[in-house]
């Protein structure tokens, strides 16, 4: 009987933790002080997260931040790697008290509530990836991913965001994101915001993709029409 009770307790705890997992994408629709309709998206992968806010109607980019994270009980701790609004916080840890269930996350002592929009599926590229190389003229050129200059692409099951930044200088170079699909070897990005050029909002870009020894090979043409073959490696 004790073994059965112990099993049920462990099962209940396991189910509860899975139901309350942060992994996936979360969305908050809200209005700014000047009555601008905003959309905020948080993507959580194993160990890393990114938050982006943009005009929900025009796609005008507002802000982004992110880095590593951990959750202990109801305290969400994030170490900031990039932040457009508060670069002085880069390298520091922030703690937020949250309430969490399988569909909503609320930041305590604020009016901010996020609704879960995916759990890391169905896309095949869930994770935080760093650009680790390019193939040019048939030659592979590798990039050191341990340095402060990073280009990260973070994906849930339906959402993506790329960010270029430097953790040492606290410089932010650009970002963009939206929704994505992975169907029959084709990776499609549907752009909802782009910090450098709002005119790219609404565009859909298709690329060939494959996973080779854990690396993501991404090839096709950029939003400018230039050919590309990028290699991305999962962050450890």
What is the domain count for the chain? 2
Rounded distance between C-alpha atoms, residue 120 and residue 178, angstroms: 15
Here the tokens at position 18 are: 């899975």
Q: Which of 66, 83, 118 is the last residue of a domain?
A: 118
What is the tens place of the pLDDT at every residue in 204-230?
999 999 999 999 999 998 877 889 999
Strands 186-194 and 149-155: unpaired
Picking from 118, 146, 172, the residue at the C-terminal end of a domain is: 118
For residue 69, pLDDT beyond 60: yes
User: Phi first, then psi: what are they for 30, rounded to 5°?
Assistant: -150, 175
Looking at the structure, tell me whether residues 111 and 132 fall in a common domain: no
Query: What pLDDT does 223 receive?
Result: 74
What CATH number does residue 214 fall under? Answer: 2.40.128.490
Residue 44 predicted with pLDDT over 80? yes
Any domain includes 4? no
Band of residue 20 on the pLDDT scale cut at 50, 70, 90: low
pLDDT given at position 19: 41
Average pLDDT, the chain: 91
Is pLDDT above 60 for 10? Answer: no
Six-digit token string for 111: 């009016």
Q: Does an H or E element contain 40, and which?
A: strand 37-44
pLDDT surpasses 80 at 1:
no
Name residues whose C-beta falls within 8 Å of residue 224's C-beta, 6 or more positions apart in sequence: none
Q: Are residues 168 and 147 in the same domain?
A: yes
> Does residue 84 or residue 110 have the better pLDDT?
84
Residue 15, domain member (yes or no):
no
Task: Please tell me whether residues 113 and 152 are part of one structural domain.
Answer: no
Contact in structure between 39 and 26 (CB atoms under 8 Å): no
Domain that holds residue 68: 24-118
pLDDT for the residue numbered 226: 86
Q: Which residues contact 126 (CB under 8 A, 6 or more apart)?
A: 23, 45, 120, 155, 156, 157
Q: How confident is the model at residue 3 (pLDDT cuts 50, 70, 90)?
A: very low
Residue with tokens 């959750």: 71
158 shares its domain with 196: yes
Where does a domain end: 52, 84, 118?
A: 118
Residue carrying structure tokens 């970002």: 175
pTM exceeding the 0.75 threshold for the entire prediction: yes
- Are 149 and 229 contained in the same domain? yes
Asked if residue 170 and residue 90 are part of one domain, the reply reads no
Rounded to an integer, the average pLDDT of 130-140 is 94
CA dist., res. 70 & res. 190, Å (int): 29
| Measured distance CA(152)–CA(176) in Å, rounded | 11
Residue 196, in any domain of the structure: yes
């Amino acid at each position: 009987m004790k073994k059965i009770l112990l099993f049920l307790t462990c099962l209940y705890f396991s189910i509860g933790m899975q139901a309350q997992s942060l992994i996936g994408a979360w969305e908050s629709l809200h209005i700014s002080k000047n009555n601008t309709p905003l959309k905020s998206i948080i993507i959580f992968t194993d160990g890393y997260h990114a938050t982006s806010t943009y005009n929900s109607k025009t796609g005008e980019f507002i802000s982004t931040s992110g880095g590593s994270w951990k959750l202990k009980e109801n305290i969400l701790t994030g170490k900031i790697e990039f932040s457009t609004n508060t670069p002085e916080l880069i390298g520091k840890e922030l703690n937020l008290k949250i309430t969490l269930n399988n569909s909503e996350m609320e930041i305590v002592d604020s009016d901010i509530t996020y609704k879960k929009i995916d759990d890391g599926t169905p896309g095949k590229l869930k994770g935080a990836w760093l650009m680790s190389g390019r193939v040019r003229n048939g030659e592979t050129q590798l990039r050191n991913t341990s340095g402060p200059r990073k280009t990260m692409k973070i994906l849930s099951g339906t959402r993506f965001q790329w960010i270029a930044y430097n953790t040492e200088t606290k410089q932010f170079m650009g970002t963009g994101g939206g929704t994505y699909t992975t169907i029959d070897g084709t990776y499609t990005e549907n752009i909802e915001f782009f910090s450098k050029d709002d005119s790219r909002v609404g565009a859909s870009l298709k690329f060939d993709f494959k996973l080779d020894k854990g690396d993501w090979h991404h090839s096709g043409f950029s939003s400018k029409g230039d050919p590309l073959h990028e290699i991305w490696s999962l962050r450890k």
